[in-house]
Structures are given as C-alpha cells and as structure tokens.
Amino acid sequence: MGRIASYRDLGCLVTGASSGIGRDIALLLAREGARLVLTARREDLLRELAEACLEAGAIAAYALPYDLDDPETPKQLVAMAENHLGHVDVLINNAGFAVPGLFAGTDLERTLSMLRVNVSASVELAHRVLPGMVRRNAGGILNLASMAGYQATPYQSAYAGTKAFLLNWSDGLHQEYKHTNVAITALCPGVTDTEFFKAAGYPKASGILKYRMACPPVAKLGVRALAKGKMEAVPGGLNKTLLFIQRLLPRSWVANVARKLMGVRPMPVRKTPRP
Ligand SMILES: NC(=O)c1ccc[n+]([C@@H]2O[C@H](COP(=O)([O-])OP(=O)(O)OC[C@H]3O[C@@H](n4cnc5c(N)ncnc54)[C@H](OP(=O)(O)O)[C@@H]3O)[C@@H](O)[C@H]2O)c1
C-alpha cells in the first residue's frame, strides 16, 4: 500500500487551487515544504496564493492558469508542470463544479463542461502522471469525490454522477496499485464552506446546504489520508454517521430522502460559467 512519508521537496500539482479546498490543500502542502504548481482559471488568485505558499514554507510555487474544460489542457498542463517540477510526485485532482436544478432545465453545454472538468480532466491528468509514479514507486493522487458520490442526489443528479465516477474509479485505482508504493485516495467531503455554491449559482444557502463544514479540516484530512495511503476519507463525524446509516438502507429509500432534502431549496439561476 502506498504511503507518503513526507511532502517535503515533492513536486505537487494542485488543480482548482484558486479557492476553497484546493487552496487550503496547497497551503498545507506549502507548510510541509513541497514544490507546487497551482492551477485554475483565475490567475490573480493563483499568483496571490503562490506568494502565500512561499511565505508558508513552499520551496517553490508556480501559478499556471488553465481552463480544464479545454480538452488540450491536461496534456499541456502536465508538460508545463514537469518543466517546473521535474516530475509530478503528487497530483491533487480537485477542480470541480456543480450544475444543479431539474435536469432537463439545466444548461446542456454547462453540464457537458462539468463532465469534462470533473471527470475527463481528472482521468487524463492521472493517466499522464501515474506511469512516472509507478516507475519511481513513490507519490500519490488525491481525487476529490464527495458524499454525493455514495448515492443518487436529485437536483444535482449529473454532478453526483461525476462524483460517483470519481469515487469508484479512485477506489479501483487504489486497489490496482496496492502492490506499489503509490498512494491513491478519494476524499469525500459533505457540505463544505467554499465558493462551490456561489459558483453553482445557488441564490442563497438554505435547507441542508446551510450546515457547512469549515474548509481547512476537510483539506487537512485529505492531505493526511493520502499520506497514510487510505482508500477513502470522509470528513466529519456527522458525514461518517450518515454514511454508515445509509449503507443499511435500500438505495431507493436513500435516494427518496435525498430528493426531499435537496428539493426544498430554491433552484439556482446561474447558467453561465464563473469567470
Ligand atoms: N464545497 C462542498 O460542499 C464540496 C463537497 C464535496 C465535494 N466538493 C468538491 O471539492 C472540489 C473543490 O470544490 P470547492 O468546494 O473547493 O469549490 P470552489 O471553492 O468553487 O473551488 C472549485 C475550484 O475549481 C476550479 N475550477 C472550476 N472550473 C474550472 C475549470 N473549467 N478549469 C479549471 N479550474 C476550474 C475553480 O477555479 P477557477 O474558477 O479559478 O477556475 C476553483 O479553484 C470540487 O471537486 C467539488 O466538487 C465540494
């Protein structure tokens, strides 16, 4: 089973680093003395974060703005990251967003973009860096799945589908590479206090979305779980309890409860991508 004894001097590529969980993961890796390539679309935030990472203890921090919706990006990003880092020891597949609402009423192009960013880009990035990790018999990949990956989530059905993919794919890779020292972990947060809901276009926090876990402990659990070589990490006692209970119940019952919990919110109005 893969473990990461220390992040010191490791070359880490963090996607979705401009805000939320990705930003906090980058800062944690910086404190451990990693070398970082930080990517997302908002260059100003990436540059600011690169400065903060250097102050926090990163050996190096580079801001590389890329749009993961562009199918050319993963190839170019890995090539650029390797130019800056030598090779990628650790990949944090974190960038992602949701397109909530009643499915047929959602914007199709934005939904397809979500599949590209959440799923295709994560798969391609991993496929490009994993052979090197296996050759060196070191390093790891942290995939940002979600509690939404464990069951159907009505009114976020396609988003939950991307997270179910990431979770099952990541668990499968964890098992496939268990004979190596490469760590592969799925981090499965519940509702977490980030820009995620604003980016998705929720007009205000209501229903279960009001009860948000703070972001830093979620990021910390992810970084630690990867270092320990865990297959999955679920932050927070409440999330763990909910997961335990739902495993004892029929899937249709769980999906029905999820529909009631998700359906009481006002539907989002945003249809266009953030920047
Ligand atoms: N917050 C939650 O409740 C929650 C729960 C479970 C799982 N998650 C997962 O955690 C991950 C991080 O989300 P977060 O909560 O930290 O939300 P966030 O603050 O909105 O961060 C999302 C990140 O993804 C980047 N991103 C979005 N679209 C992109 C694109 N086309 N190209 C490149 N980067 C893109 C954003 O950067 P730019 O806008 O600058 O491009 C941003 O840095 C996501 O995968 C999300 O699904 C979140």
Report if pTM > 0.85.
Answer: yes
Residue 269 in domain = no
Residue 2 in domain = no
Where do the H-state alpha helices sit in 6-116? 20-31, 43-56, 73-85, 108-114
| Ligand 1 within 6 A of CB of 67 | yes
Q: Could you list the residue range(s) of the whole structural domain that residue 89 is in?
A: 11-263
- Nearest-CA residue for ligand 1 atom 44 is 96
- Nearest-CA residue for ligand 1 atom 8 is 146
Q: How far is the CA of 226 from the centre of ligand 1 (A)?
A: 19
Residue 224 in domain = yes
pLDDT averages per 10-residue partition of the chain, 275 residues: 95 98 98 98 98 98 98 98 98 97 96 98 98 98 98 96 98 98 98 94 71 95 98 97 96 94 61 52
Give the count of domains, the chain: 1
Torsion, Cα 218 146 118 220, to 10 degrees, reads: 10
Residue 210 has a pLDDT of 73
Residue 157 in domain = yes
Q: What is the CATH number of the domain that holds 188?
A: 3.40.50.720
Residue 3 in domain = no
Amino acid (1-letter code) at residue 44: D
Residue 273 in domain = no
Residue 275 in domain = no
Residue 206 has a pLDDT of 65
Residue 245 in domain = yes
| Ligand 1 within 6 A of CB of 26 | no
Contact 145, 152 (CB under 8 A): no
